[in-house]
Amino acid sequence: MLHFVGLGVGVCVVNGCVEPGVDMVARPIEDLPPVTYSALFRSAERQVPGVSRLLETLQASGP
């Protein structure tokens, strides 16, 4: 959707982790409800060191 904005086709609503392009302007929308994010992984992947570190980091930084 951000690509279409860059082409001049219209506007889009994105979450805060999306960086606007050089010629784009981002404005916060205060009236939207909070967004819930989920980390999805296969249970066997929990044993992979990189996956377990990522999940621990996400849990530590969450509410």
Domain map (residue ranges) of the chain: 2-61
Is the per-residue pLDDT at 5 higher than 70?
Answer: yes
Give rounded-to-5 percent helix, strand, coil for the chain. 35, 0, 65
Secondary structure class of 29 (helix, strand, coil): coil
Per-residue pLDDT of 7-53, as tens digits, reads: 888 888 888 888 888 888 888 888 888 888 788 888 888 888 888 88
Secondary structure class of 54 (helix, strand, coil): helix
Is pTM beyond 0.75? Reply is no
Nearest CA-CA partner of 6 in 16, 18, 20, 17: 20
